Homo-oligomer: A and B are copies of this chain.
Amino acid sequence: MGYKFLKKSIKVNNAIDLILKHLTIKLGIEKIQFDESLGRVLAEDIISKVDIPPVNKSAFDGYAVKGIDLISASRYSPLRLKVIDEVKIGEMPPKWTKGALKIATGAALPDGLDTVIPAEYVNILGDNEIEILKSFPIGDNVIQRVEDVKKGKCVLKEGRIINPFDLGMLAQLKKMNVMVLEKLRIVILPTGSELIEPNKEGDLYKTVDTNMYTLSALCKKPWIEVDHIKPVQDDLKALTQAIRSSMVNNHVLIITGGTSVGELDLVPEAVQRVGSVKLLIRGIGIQPGRPTGVAIVDSKLFFMLSGFPTACIIGYIALVRPLLYKIINTPEPPKPIVTAKLQSKVTSSLGVEGYVRVIVKKVGEKLIAEPVRVIGSSSISSLIEANGFLIVPYGSEGFDSGSEVQINLYDSIQD
């Protein structure tokens, strides 16, 4: 049993398309309080049941007047008006019959008045009289009834990740509960007999598992519930048992380690034992991260990532993350991409997308990108030192020093 990785790896985009064809994860829907919905996936269209605003309102502190009276007002022919009453914010306006009303920002205009003159354009003459020295368009400085949202309008569409502005809209509509997708449940299973947890003593030949921490952190989003188990030894029975029990309550399993060609690579064997397996991907065209496998087992999505920390992380970024957004059917948030001048030659193999770690720095007004010296794919220090990825495309062997290249930034630009 087991499988060999193919010599010619599949392109990432093709891998994603292939997996999507077989994917059957269907998230349920749950009702939660709106003020706990930030970052969750909206599972209903939100239709306004009211007009917003429901009344005409003043945009400034000043005086509400009848606009037509103002048409010929000027310094030479000022309009004088009696201030009859006052409109307070949050209160019903008094009935208007003549003259002007003093009005606060946000207060409602009564029937008959359609224009607001900001206080700074008004002379107060005493005896409750004001003088206006210039004309204003009819309707000026008034927030018109319904100008923002008409009753019946769909203000938030199903499928949206709820952002801070959306929360404000839900509050405004008094939508106290909201339907959202249940959380996507992911579990991370680090495997390898060499692995120990960081709080355990080990000799020089043991390695602290870092993948469960980095992957958990990368998965940490309001629409994901991520869990991890302790490192599993390279033992078929233990591995099979760990995978089987992790499947019960999760949609996605991310297994790290145990997927290359060695005899100890028991993951493919264990996966075969837990259910009906569709092995979709055996190696993808990314570097580091080639030994990445994907299978669907009884409708659960299995990612088998390299055990090497950097290869594992890049497998996640290049393949897993885009697929997680596909599962919730929502575009990925926009990524910061900058153009920078490459400071030294970068080479990559043909037939893989090379994830080159670079440091982007600002020099004067220009950005430069310095590749981080990297040897293996075993360590994450290159990711920490760098602040971005230069992705060398599938069909390219690299970039010359001095090239203008696009960098995916994941950390702030250095000075």
Shortest C-beta distance, A228 to chain B (Å), equals 10
User: Is A208 engaged at the interface, CB distance under 8 Å to the other chain?
Assistant: yes
Q: Give the dominant DSSP class at A's interface.
A: loop
Contacting B at CB under 8 A, from A81-113, are 88-93, 104-108
- Please determine whether A172 and B208 come into contact, CB atoms closer than 8 angstroms: yes
The proximity string for A residues 110-135 relative to B, scoring 1 for CB distances below 8 Å and 0 otherwise, is: 00000000011000000000000000
User: Is A211 engaged at the interface, CB distance under 8 Å to the other chain?
Assistant: yes
- Tell me, in angstroms, the Cα distance from A169 to B210 when the chains sit together: 7
User: Is A309 engaged at the interface, CB distance under 8 Å to the other chain?
Assistant: yes
CB within 8 A of A193: which of B89, B165, B195? B89
Assembly stoichiometry (copies) = 2
User: Is A313 engaged at the interface, CB distance under 8 Å to the other chain?
Assistant: yes
- Please determine whether A213 and B167 come into contact, CB atoms closer than 8 angstroms: yes
User: Is A207 engaged at the interface, CB distance under 8 Å to the other chain?
Assistant: yes
- Tell me, in angstroms, the Cα distance from A209 to B378 when the chains sit together: 51
Q: Which residues of B contact A155 (CB under 8 A)?
A: 381, 384
User: Is A218 engaged at the interface, CB distance under 8 Å to the other chain?
Assistant: yes
Q: Which residues of B contact A143 (CB under 8 A)?
A: 375-376, 378
User: Is A156 engaged at the interface, CB distance under 8 Å to the other chain?
Assistant: yes
- Please determine whether B90 and A334 come into contact, CB atoms closer than 8 angstroms: no
Q: Given A90-B194, A167-B217, A199-B174, answer yes or no on A376-B412 (Cβ-Cβ < 8 Å).
A: no
- Tell me, in angstroms, the Cα distance from A70 to B53 when the chains sit together: 82
Shortest C-beta distance, A407 to chain B (Å), equals 10
- Please determine whether B209 and A171 come into contact, CB atoms closer than 8 angstroms: yes
- Please determine whether B168 and A213 come into contact, CB atoms closer than 8 angstroms: yes
- A-B contacts, 15 of them at CB < 8 A, read A35-B213, A61-B262, A89-B194, A90-B207, A108-B205, A119-B262, A143-B378, A147-B376, A148-B381, A165-B384, A169-B210, A171-B209, A176-B198, A332-B412, A333-B411
For residue A204, which residue of chain B has the nearest CB? Answer: B54
User: Is A137 engaged at the interface, CB distance under 8 Å to the other chain?
Assistant: no
CB within 8 A of A171: which of B194, B208, B264, B337? B208
Q: Given A176-B198, A213-B35, A336-B334, answer yes or no on A193-B88 (Cβ-Cβ < 8 Å).
A: yes
Shortest C-beta distance, A45 to chain B (Å), equals 13
- Tell me, in angstroms, the Cα distance from A54 to B203 when the chains sit together: 10
- Tell me, in angstroms, the Cα distance from A117 to B381 when the chains sit together: 26
Q: Which residues of B contact A205 (CB under 8 A)?
A: 55, 90-93, 107-108
- Tell me, in angstroms, the Cα distance from A262 to B59 when the chains sit together: 12
Q: Given A59-B378, A89-B264, A195-B90, answer yes or no on A309-B106 (Cβ-Cβ < 8 Å).
A: no
- Tell me, in angstroms, the Cα distance from A220 to B262 when the chains sit together: 46
- Please determine whether A149 and B381 come into contact, CB atoms closer than 8 angstroms: yes
Shortest C-beta distance, A321 to chain B (Å), equals 11
For residue A92, which residue of chain B has the nearest CB? Answer: B205
